Amino acid sequence: MREIKVPDIGGIRVPIIELLVKVGDSVAIDTPLITLESDKASMEVPSTHAGIIKEILVKLGDTVQEGDAVVKLEEAQSIQTTQTVQAQQTPATPTISKPVEIAVTSTQTVAQNTKSLQTNTFNLANTVNNTLPADITSSVNLDDTIYHASPSVRKLARELGLHLKRVTGTGLKNRITDEDLKSFIKQALQTGSNNSTNNSTAQANTSLAGLLPWPEVDFSKFGQTQSKPLSRIKKLSGANLHRNWVMIPHVTNHEQADITELEKFRVQLNKEYEKQGIKITMLAFLIKAAVAALKQFPNFNSSLQGDDLVLKQYFNIGFAADTPNGLVVPVIKQADQKGIVELAQEMAELAKLARDGKLKPDQMQGGCFSISSLGGIGGTYFTPIINAPEVAIMGVCKASYQPIYNGKDFEARLILPMSLSWDHRVIDGAEAARFNTYFAQVLADFRRITL
Ligand code: COA
């Protein structure tokens, strides 16, 4: 049995973002086994030997360095030898040439597959280049290094003259998978366009959607300007937000929660925990209230998968965090099993990691529902964009004292403005109103959480 190891990758530890083989696969020399991705580039680790994969020694998300074993492989040569021995020992075995066939066949299959893939790629490239709108095929020279994709996806995109910025990645860290690329091409082929040859993203997207081209303005005619590239996070989150905005039929319901009593409790708790350096903000209570509301309205804790609604039995809550480089959404896992103090601590840790740009991919994954709090900044209401594949998001703004009529007089009450955006394919208006009402009731009287 041979172990295939990570070759010299420049003395760094790099995460595995793709497993390209599974146990039982036949591989040839140079068949890619895994994809690694550093901050700057992705690379495949090829097999140094031909044979059959017997064991995968790593998993997705592991970080590896030079010399780490990736898979155990039964070499083509040893398959042949073992089976030859078996054939010699067992008189009933028809022919000893069979093992040779096995070894050769598996290698041939890989070679044949590779060849047929190349042929298919060539045909696809021809078809796509002849059929895709000019503005999609004209961007071959643009830099694509900031888009996460395996070398094979990059290669195919290059061959098609397609810039990866056009493709929305659905994989880990918004990675553009083989499927993403293919579905983009499929959609482009179906939609078609004869629009202009300008290669700006906005224009390409508008032409795909059959919209007017993005306005091209020479701003310098009106005054001085300065160009500043978007940050990497902004580009990634922008692509996600754009997809979510376009693909999800959003509706936003607004609500007000009377948090007068809850705020008193929060202030009291903060006094108690001050010495321990723990600060409890309203967000921790919002996370807990969100869990209660998701339990009460399970449709909100779901994702659409084709014609099925996948209902989740776990409660992971994401919260939007503003960082110098843009918006990220860390996820608090199993929020249902954590108390307010623990939630506040974890939130503070995740928010710090987010601001320092140190969040790991798994700390931003697995969310069921998101909360976007602008409470520390200001504003009254807004329309948050749903974080797909989730089906709803709660946005809150700054609480303020309002005169509320109590049946006799106007009383000063602390009112939190809430804005719930929901996916109308999954949720109806009445259900959303009930969710919001319940959410506000829990915040108004937190004892309800125990019911
Ligand atoms: N109403 C009134 N005050 C509020 C409030 C609310 N809804 N929410 C928070 N505050 C107060 C806090 O109590 C705190 O006050 P203090 O300093 O006097 O104690 C202050 O505002 C700052 O709170 P903040 O540091 O923002 O903590 P948080 O727990 O509320 O939020 C983050 C943490 C990470 C979510 C927040 O810093 C952040 O990044 N928000 C922006 C999210 C965003 O960009 N959303 C938009 C997506 S489109």
The residues facing 254 across adjacent strands are 419
Q: What do you get for the CA distance between the two ends of the chain, in Å?
A: 59
Q: How far is CA 206 from the centre of its chain?
A: 24
Predicted confidence band of residue 190 (pLDDT cuts 50, 70, 90): low
Share of the chain above pLDDT 70, in %: 78
Question: What is the mean pLDDT of the segment spanning 218-243?
Answer: 92
204 lines ligand 1 (CB under 6 A): no
Q: What residue owns the CA closest to ligand 1's atom 7?
A: 375
pLDDT of residue 138: 28
Distance, in Å, from the CA atom of 265 to the CA atom of 98, rounded to the nearest integer, reads: 78
- Structural tokens at position 131: 């059929």
178-191 vs 151-160: helix crossing angle, rounded to 10: 20
Residue with the bigger pLDDT between 178 and 278: it is 278
Length of the chain equals 451
Q: Mind listing the pLDDT tens digit for each residue in 46-81?
A: 999 999 999 999 998 899 999 999 999 998 876 554
Residue with the bigger pLDDT between 277 and 137: it is 277
320 lines ligand 1 (CB under 6 A): yes
Q: How far is CA 71 from the centre of its chain?
A: 27
Of the candidates 136, 134, 140, the one whose C-alpha atom is nearest the C-alpha of residue 159 is 140
Give the number of other Cβ atoms within 10 Å of residue 298's Cβ: 12
Predicted confidence band of residue 92 (pLDDT cuts 50, 70, 90): very low
Distance, in Å, from the CA atom of 258 to the CA atom of 414, rounded to the nearest integer, reads: 6
Establish whether the linkage from the previous residue to 389 is cis, with ω within 30° of 0. yes
Q: Mind listing the pLDDT tens digit for each residue in 23-33?
A: 999 999 988 89
H/E element holding 80?
helix 76-89
285 lines ligand 1 (CB under 6 A): no
Q: What residue owns the CA closest to ligand 1's atom 10?
A: 376
319 lines ligand 1 (CB under 6 A): yes
Residue with the bigger pLDDT between 313 and 174: it is 313
Q: One of 49, 163, 250, 424 is an active-site residue; which one? A: 424
pTM beyond 0.95: the answer is no
pLDDT of residue 215: 92
**What is the whole-number distance in angstroms between the Cα of residue 258 and the centre of ligand 1?**
18
Q: What residue owns the CA closest to ligand 1's atom 32?
A: 321
Answer yes or no: 424 catalytic. Answer: yes
Which numbered atom of ligand 1 lies nearest the CA of 385?
Answer: 48
Which numbered atom of ligand 1 lies nearest the CA of 284?
Answer: 29
Distance, in Å, from the CA atom of 319 to the CA atom of 129, rounded to the nearest integer, reads: 42
332 lines ligand 1 (CB under 6 A): no
Of the candidates 177, 179, 166, the one whose C-alpha atom is nearest the C-alpha of residue 132 is 166
